Amino acid sequence: MRTYPPDFRSGFVAIIGRPNTGKSTLMNRILGEKLSITSAKPQTTRYAVKGIWNTDKHQIVFIDTPGYLKPRYEMQERMSRIISDSFRDVDLVIFMTQVQSFPTDYDLEVLGLLKNVKGAVVAVFNKIDLLETIDKEALLVHLPKNVERSVFVSALTGAGITELVECIRHFIPYHEPFYDDEQLSDLPLRFFAKELIREAIFHLFEEEIPYATAVLIERFQELPTKVVVDAVIWIERNSQKPILIGKGGANLKKIREYAELQLTEFLQFPSEIHLFVKINENWRKKPHALKELGFE
Ligand SMILES: Nc1nc2c(ncn2[C@@H]2O[C@H](COP(=O)(O)OP(=O)(O)OP(=O)(O)O)[C@@H](O)[C@H]2O)c(=O)[nH]1
Ligand SMILES: [Mg+2]
């Protein structure tokens, strides 16, 4: 068995914050891999996505979470449970917000939720590339006392990330790794196929469709020359079907092409995706449908 130096660090970091502040972009930036899907629309992430960062000095497990909003749907109820579960047993919570709009009511609500966490809390002010000058003091006064450090970054350009990484390491205890050091996530490959199809939908459609859809992988088969994926896209209403499919299947084709390209890049192996559309009325409110989608 491999032995680790006594100063090897290993631990868990949850990234929490309101939607669209750049949580998934930050995790991907630190890992140097596109593990969690991102989009310009809020509430892109629906699950806790673990990303494991291995070096010869540490193994840091990041947990990217859905953006916090007051639950309106049964699905958002499950999402808020995912958030509170994710910060229960971590060494560090990153409270994520963005410089150009802080604090919002949701920011303050998240900070309220974080008052009782066991681990340390660090605030990350993202999107510094959008402002020419930043009055840091004016932002920092709104942070509660349990926030130990604050770092200003741009997850998009990479500014401030080295300092943030140093800061994170400081809060990770000396411990042997929890996961195999080859592993990048604890999630199966089919999860990433599903997420990349969802990302395609988030990028290609406006308002309603991304939130009214869910994706299920019915087949994920690793053949010698390619990976073959059969996926079903659920939509909530009959009227959404022609929009999703497009004239002569044009939109569905765009989703497939986008997702295939992304999945092939992620797997570093050719992939082929087949898409099917099904109507599942009001799936966001149905407990058994949510269970099928992997929400506990
Ligand atoms: N200008 C700028 N945009 C950023 C930065 N970080 C992220 N973004 C953009 O902000 C949008 C939201 O990013 P995500 O990473 O999906 O945000 P999120 O917090 O994971 O969102 P949810 O999963 O919906 O909670 C995307 O369009 C990103 O490209 C940044 O540092 N600067
Ligand atoms: Mg996200």
Q: What is the pLDDT of residues 154-173, one digit of tens each?
A: 999 999 999 999 999 999 99
User: Which residue's alpha carbon is nearest to atom 8 within ligand 1?
Assistant: 22
Residue 69, pLDDT score: 81
All structural domains of the chain: 9-170 (3.40.50.300), 189-292 (3.30.300.20)
Determine the distance separating the centroid of ligand 2 and the alpha carbon of 20, expressed in angstroms. 7
User: Which residue's alpha carbon is nearest to atom 26 within ligand 1?
Assistant: 40
Residues with CB under 6 A from ligand 1: 19-25, 38-40, 42-45, 66-67, 126-127, 129-130, 154-156
Determine the distance separating the centroid of ligand 2 and the alpha carbon of 33, expressed in angstroms. 14
Q: How far is 249 from 244, CA to CA, in rounded Å?
A: 9
The per-residue pLDDT of the chain, averaged, comes to: 93
Pair 273, 229: CB distance under 8 Å: yes
Average pLDDT for 201-228: 95
Task: Tell me the torsion sign for CA atoms 284, 103, 155, 174.
Answer: negative
Q: What is the pLDDT of residues 173-188, one digit of tens each?
A: 999 999 998 888 988 9
User: Which residue's alpha carbon is nearest to atom 30 within ligand 1?
Assistant: 127
Which tokens sit at 272? Answer: 């082929």
Alpha-carbon Rg for the chain in angstroms: 20
Pair 163, 124: CB distance under 8 Å: no
Strands ordered across the beta sheet of 49-54: 49-54, 58-64, 9-17, 92-98, 120-126, 147-152
Q: How far is 237 from 244, CA to CA, in rounded Å?
A: 11
Read off the pTM.
Answer: 0.92
